[in-house]
Structure formats: structure tokens, C-alpha cells
């Protein structure tokens, strides 16, 4: 079953469009997990990251369709962190969560194929369902990923319009009336056009930030065959009204990521007193349910 179909099924099953970003950071872990690290060694932190992420997965497994582990934080711990990343991906999949691995990888030709094989391939040590990909290197840096998607029913999410303030430097540059991000969107739509599932979605998703609602609406129209991963909700400032324009009818076609606001919810003012570090799982659940309620779009 194609990645796009599996994602739609997961959204319908959970009646949720929330993607929980798994961004473990040493300093932000709840006190019980931080305190359990007796020696400041990568292996101990990696074990704490695995425990933290897997316990989040236990909490949100029935509440959301997907999780998005951020590779950078696991890579920061070295090979021990990469083992942890594999454990987290496998655990999420065992709990019926789809995994969007956020690695923003890209390269050309056979090197792009190596990245695709590494994270999405038949013998992938990480075995993710999908991967985020950066488009700067052009069409021939995207196609090798698409080939692996075709073979493995995997997906990618290509950066189109990112949520950060500086994203516009390159992405908003306009040539003959078309911006760079519109050009990327056009490429995705073209590559998806021969790869649609019954609902019209292909394996090439797009990343479009919640912080630019007008562009999000425009990109929704420009990429009818793409699932859109919308970061920037919550901690980065995007609101529920902002992201609704990224969806098709019935809450299909997009998932909205929140990382810090969910996984470190115990530190948010509204939850700190009520739950605190000791009951961090309850804070994660409350924050996830709150976000689901804010984005009650699935019909």
C-alpha cells in the first residue's frame, strides 16, 4: 500500500492531523529521565532519548497518525544516537505510527540513491516510512529518492516553503513571475502526476510552513497530489486558523507538526504547575489532545 494511502488511513483512523515531532534535547528532557543519566556519556543519553521517545509513542500512539524524529538530535550523540534513532523508528512503526524521518538529506545521482536506500530502502537500517529532502540540487537529486519510493511504497517530503524567517532569501526569489518555491512545487506536481493513488495523492509530499498562511493556501492549490507536512505550528507561532488552508476537504492532504509544544509540554506554563516533570506523560497527552481539538478537521 502506498505511503500516501497509509497516511490517509492513519489520519482517518485516529481522526487526527497532528504529527508529533520527536526532537530530544539533553537539557529539555523531563527531570526523571535527565536524572537517570549517571554519567555524561553518549550511550547513556542515547538510552534516555530512546526511553523518552518510546514513552511519548506509548502516549500518542492512538491519538495521532505519525511522528517525525529529527535526525540532527540523534546524530549529535554519534553512533549511539543513530542506534537510538533506529530503535525509535522501529518502535513507532510497531505501534502503527507512520514515521517521517526529518533528515533534510540531498545529493546527486548515486549518492542520493545511497541516502534513499539508507533511510527508506529494502535493507534500510532505519526503515523509515518517509524522509524529508532538500531540493537545492535540482530534479536529478529528487528522482533517485522517487525511484526508491516507487520500489518500497515509501514517501518523501521535499522542502518547498519553510517556516523560518530567513527561508525567503532563496525561496521567495521570483523569476518571470514564479518564485523558487513555486518552481519546486511544480516539479513535485509533475513527478506525482503519474504516481497517484485512488485519492489522487503521490509519494512526493511537500514541507510548507505554518508561518506563511497565504503561501500555504497557494501551495495547497499548486500541489493537488502532495501530502503537505506543515511545521511551525505552536512554538514557532503558527495558529490553527493559519494551517487550515493547507488541507483538502475532510481534513485530508496535510499533517501539522508540533515538536516542543508537545514533547516538552511539561515545561509550558499551562501544564508546568498541573503536571510538572514528574507527570510529563500526562502533559504530553494533554498537549496532544489540545492540538487535536484545535485541528478537528477530519470528517
Residues forming the site for a second copy (CB under 8 A): 23, 25, 42, 70, 72-73, 75-83, 86, 102, 104-112, 114-115, 117-119, 124-126, 134-141, 159, 162-171, 173-175, 180, 183-184, 187
Which CA distances in Å does 73 have to 46, 143, 257?
10, 27, 17
Residue (176 or 241) nearer to a second copy, CB: 176
Q: How far apart are CA 65 and CA 58, in angstroms?
A: 13
Strand, helix or coil for residue 203: coil
Residue (2 or 163) nearer to a second copy, CB: 163
- Strand pairing class (66-69; 98-105): parallel
104 is catalytic: yes
The torsion region of residue 127 among left (phi > 0), alpha (psi -120 to 50) and beta comes to: left
As measured in angstroms, the least distance from the Cβ of 149 to a second copy is 17
As measured in angstroms, the least distance from the Cβ of 246 to a second copy is 19
Residue (140 or 270) nearer to a second copy, CB: 140
As measured in angstroms, the least distance from the Cβ of 232 to a second copy is 10
How far does the chain reach from its first CA to its final CA, in angstroms?
22
Which CA distances in Å does 165 have to 6, 21, 150, 168?
33, 20, 34, 7
Residue (144 or 246) nearer to a second copy, CB: 144
As measured in angstroms, the least distance from the Cβ of 199 to a second copy is 28
Strand, helix or coil for residue 77: coil
Catalytic residue among 26, 68, 104, 299: 104
Residues catalogued as catalytic: 104
Amino acid at each position: 500500500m502506498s505511503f500516501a494511502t497509509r497516511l490517509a488511513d492513519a489520519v482517518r483512523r485516529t481522526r487526527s492531523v497532528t504529527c508529533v515531532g520527536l526532537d530530544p534535547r539533553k537539557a529539555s528532557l523531563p527531570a526523571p529521565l535527565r536524572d537517570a543519566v549517571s554519567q555524561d556519556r553518549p550511550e547513556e543519553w542515547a538510552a534516555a532519548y530512546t526511553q523518552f521517545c518510546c514513552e511519548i509513542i506509548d502516549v500518542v500512539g492512538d491519538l495521532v497518525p505519525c511522528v517525525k524524529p529529527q535526525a540532527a538530535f540523534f546524530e549529535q550523540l554519534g553512533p549511539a544516537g543513530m542506534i537510538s534513532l533506529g530503535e525509535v523508528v522501529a518502535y513507532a512503526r510497531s505501534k502503527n505510527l507512520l514515521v517521517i524521518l526529518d533528515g533534510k538529506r540531498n545529493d546527486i545521482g548515486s549518492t542520493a540513491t545511497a541516502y534513499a536506500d539508507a533511510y527508506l530502502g529494502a535493507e534500510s537500517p532505519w526503515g523509515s516510512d518517509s524522509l524529508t529532502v532538500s531540493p537545492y540540487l535540482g530534479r536529478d537529486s529528487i528522482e533517485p529518492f522517487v525511484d526508491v519510493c516507487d520500489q518500497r511504497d515509501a514517501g518523501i517530503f521535499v522542502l518547498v516553503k519553510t517556516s523560518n524567517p530567513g527561508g525567503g532569501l532563496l525561496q521567495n526569489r521570483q523569476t518571470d513571475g514564479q518564485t523558487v518555491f513555486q518552481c519546486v512545487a511544480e516539479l513535485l506536481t509533475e513527478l506525482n502526476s503519474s504516481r497517484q493513488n485512488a485519492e489522487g495523492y503521490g509519494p512526493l509530499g511537500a514541507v510548507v510552513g505554518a508561518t506563511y498562511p497565504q503561501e500555504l493556501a497557494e501551495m495547497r492549490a499548486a500541489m493537488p497530489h502532495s501530502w503537505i507536512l506543515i511545521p511551525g505550528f505552536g512554538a514557532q507561532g503558527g495558529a490553527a486558523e493559519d494551517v487550515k488552508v493547507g488541507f483538502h476537504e475532510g481534513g485530508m492532504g496535510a499533517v501539522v507538526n508540533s515538536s516542543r509544544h508537545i514533547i516538552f509540554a511539561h515545561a509550558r506554563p499551562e501544564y508546568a504547575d498541573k503536571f510538572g516533570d514528574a507527570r510529563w506523560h500526562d502533559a504530553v497527552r494533554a498537549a496532544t489532545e489540545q492540538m487535536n481539538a484545535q485541528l478537528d478537521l477530519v470528517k
